[in-house]
Chain A
Amino acid sequence: MTLPLIIYRSLRQHALSTIITAGSIALACGLLMCVWMVKTQSQTAFTQTTTGFDAVLGARGSKLQLVLNAIFHLEASQGNLAWADYEGIKRHPAVKTAIPIAVGDNLRGYRIVGTLPELFEKVEFAPGKKFAVAPGGKVFGSAPDAREAVAGAFAAQKLGLKVGDTFKPFHGLAFDEKNQHEEVFTVVGIMASTNTPVDRVIWIPLKGVQTMSGHDAKAATDVSAVLIQLRAASAGFMLDMMYNKQGNRLTLAYPVGAIIAELFGKIAWFDQVLTLVAYLVALVAAGSVLASIYNSMSARRRDLAILRALGARRRTIFGAVVAEAACIGVLGALAGYAVYFGLLTGVAEVIRAQTGVVLEVGAKHAVLWICPLAMIGLCALGGVVPAIKAYRTPVAETLAPTS
């Protein structure tokens, strides 16, 4: 009861510096946890984002770009494949499903992707989960010339699209007001949220993109990529051999997750820098605990000497100062969770808006208790320096009347 009282009063007496120091701990702690969680979570989220496909076939070029373009709906397409190539792989015995997509248009920055209705009928975008259209809508029919569109949940929400709305697509992957097509499409369905990049896409029939006014007539049967589901994982290596090693016209990106993992390998230096910064912030925060308590030490000398005169042992005084530092750490760590959730929610929102990949903000991870505990430990360690000073306070001299 005594120690908590001493610590509580001391924290109260130096309330401003307590708040400022705990605040800096909170920032450091929140930042560290956030950097860590965004790193691990986005890595898992991105490498698991395959929207149900094992491989992507595209024009000769970068596998990463192919995956980013066809699965994540980011980056530019690296060229087209002929319809025959699509039919070729579709007939391959190792291939379960092959779905062509055509890109090249957008609606106010959200991609318009042409595809076949099979995508919605056959594909599980995650184990056991099929694409679904929100009540009141439907998927566009198999009539190839239908000017119908199905909007992804996020795109629909951001653009305010409802069933029955009409729009004219804009040419290109980036929004340019001056580049509008003449065709009018009608929204026939809004997709249920999938928490994948698909939520940011507006789907129209494949033919719609291929034959859009102003698109190259010679390429009217080309597709941008083919999304592939395999019958067996082993078949992927066979196809890889066939397209990438023996052939030199097309590129097969397989497996989709591994290609994204490579991307994370390439940007590892970035989160190393970020982690280093976070560690430095943590160190500075612990240093600020040391400094703030140390600076208040001369003002507290007399109180400490009085406590000693009342019978407090040296080690009690030492312990009180270390415990006080640890308490600042605890306050900071608790506030750190608020900082963490705030930051992570913000980052997750940005990632979702940019890529459609959804991070799990409430996810648990060892770092969420290791980091606060380490921070508290670091604060207690910072408290050792002023505690030594407190430990050494001479009682008789300090108590001498100050008149």
Chain B
Amino acid sequence: MLAVTDLTKSFVSPEGTRVEIVSVKAFALAAGEQVALRGESGSGKTTFLHLIAGILAADSGRVMLDGAEMTALGEAGRDKLRAGKIGYVFQTFNLLQGFSVLENVVLGMSFGPRGADRAHAKEVLERVGLGHRLDHFPRQLSTGQQQRVAVARALANRPKLVLADEPTGNLDRKSGREALALIREVCRENGAALLLVSHDEDVLAQFETRRDFGALNEAGKRASPLNATGESPPQQNQQNRKGTAA
């Protein structure tokens, strides 16, 4: 269902050098499969998910998603594919503050092929236990409830794949566990595959299938020695700047 091959992405660092962040030879996910990726902070997990979702354009390589090649599409095409096939859950929820709970979920499907469907949005919200909060605004909810809205929004467009980027990172342990269980259940009920990234061992331990993003990402392996030396140049720069200023 999801197949990633030879995917690379690099950024130009503030110092002006090109740094490769993601370099994944092969990664695949079967339909309905649930996998957790373990990776340190800064190892490129978010970038990897952005590439799969088509939010970022890859430098090279392929992302095949449910028969469509994400990496072959232009930006508008990637937006369309994402709107139709992917649900995204963020660490910071990323709810639209000016919109009601129901509207947030409706907007989760508005851009997809099926379009806005309030009745379905209500159903999904009822499923995550927020049927009585439809007209509330995000700020009127607890963080746990906010993440449940985000989960409902991610699943409203009946995605084939749900990407979850540290979805429990902003929640306390108890609501984190609840949120995680909810995401997994709802994905299962909807037949959506789940790819979750986290550095939290407690979260990772819940998954039967765990992969180490550090091992998967070639860029990460090369990056670590680079990082060690990479720490000194900025300091030098700072000293230089101080020197010229004096």
Contact = CB atoms under 8 A, between A and B. Distances in A.
B116 A310 contact: no
Interface string B100-118: 0001001110111001100
Contacts of B53: 309
Interface string A177-194: 000000000000000000
Contact of B103 (A9, A309, A395): A9
Given A310-B111, A403-B92, A396 B83 contact: no
Interface in B13-71: 46-47, 50, 53, 55-56
Contacts of B75: 314
Interface residues of B, number: 34
B79 A12 contact: no
A309 B88 contact: yes
Contact of A316 (B84, B88, B111): B111
Given A5-B103, A311-B80, A314-B75, A303 B98 contact: yes
A92 interface: no
Q: A interface, by DSSP: helix, strand, loop or mixed?
A: helix
Interface in A302-332: 302-303, 306-316
A10 interface: yes
Contacts of B107: 2, 5-6, 307, 310
Contacts of A309: 53, 55, 82, 88, 90, 94
Contacts of A234: none
A23 B79 CA distance: 37
B96 A303 contact: yes
B97 A303 contact: yes
Contacts of B119: none
A399 interface: yes
A309 B112 CA distance: 12
Interface residues of A, number: 28
A396 B116 CA distance: 25
B98 A13 contact: yes
Nearest to A10: B98
Contacts of A306: 94-96
A10 B97 CA distance: 10
B76 A315 contact: yes
A402 interface: yes
29 contacts: A1-B115, A1-B116, A2-B111, A2-B116, A5-B99, A5-B103, A5-B106, A9-B96, A9-B99, A9-B103, A12-B98, A303-B96, A303-B97, A306-B96, A307-B107, A308-B55, A309-B53, A309-B90, A310-B110, A310-B111, A311-B83, A312-B83, A396-B50, A396-B56, A399-B90, A399-B94, A400-B46, A401-B91, A401-B92
B74 to A, nearest CB: 11
A326 B95 CA distance: 26
Given A2-B110, A13-B98, A306-B94, A311 B84 contact: yes
A257 B56 CA distance: 73
A312 B98 contact: no
A400 B165 CA distance: 11
A396 B82 CA distance: 14
